[in-house]
Amino acid sequence: MIEVEQTEFADYTAVPVRRGNCLAACVASIFEVPLSRLEGVYDSQALWRWLEKHFPGVGMIARTYDESVPFGSRVPEGFTGKPGLTPWIAVVQSPRTPHAHCVVMVADRLEWDPHPQREDGVGPQLGDYVFTLDTPESLSF
């Protein structure tokens, strides 16, 4: 995994609304690709399309929780099917805005926060993104 910092920041008061690219920065970090390859990836639908095009053997599970939970308390199984061995993305409450933010986790540990003000920490966990190996024969690393 590499540490990719986000370059776009949400401003929901702007017209048109601007979205942050923390999700894209997390994906770029996990898949070790330049952030520029994830232009336009701001949500799960765009990420699905990106995965299908660039990593067709990789699937994704995106969950939103009914209620927020303490940060790091809900650990999904990862890419290998073995908990804690692979990075996953936690969707958390941003400490800077009333909106969600994405960070990279390994097991219950924060591995990388792509926001330049990462020292602010993160809020409760609102959901997650987990990558799965759906068709290993289609991957070429």
CA dihedral 93, 94, 99, 102 (to 10 degrees): -80
Q: What pLDDT score does 74 carry? A: 85
Q: What average pLDDT score do residues 26-30 get?
A: 97
Structure tokens at 58: 């990789």
Q: Amino acid identity of 90? A: A
Q: What average pLDDT score do residues 39-51 get?
A: 95
Q: At 74, give phi and psi (nearest 5°).
A: -115, 105
Strand, coil or helix: 45: helix
- What pLDDT band is residue 68 in, cutting at 50, 70 and 90? very high
CA distances 87 to 10, 11, 69, 75, 113, Å, are 24, 28, 19, 11, 12
Q: Which residues of 61-79 are buried (b: 16+ CB within 10 A; e: fewer)?
A: eeeeeeeeeebbeebeebb
- What pLDDT band is residue 108 in, cutting at 50, 70 and 90? confident
- Residue 41: is its pLDDT beyond 80? yes
Q: What pLDDT score does 134 carry? A: 66
Rounded distance, CA 112 to CA 64, Å?
20
- Residue 140: is its pLDDT beyond 60? no
pLDDT in tens, 78-104: 455 555 567 899 999 999 988 999 999
Q: What pLDDT score does 12 carry? A: 86
Q: What is the largest CA-CA distance in the chain?
A: 46
Q: What pLDDT score does 107 carry? A: 82
pLDDT in tens, 115-139: 999 999 999 999 999 988 766 565 5
Q: What pLDDT score does 133 carry? A: 75
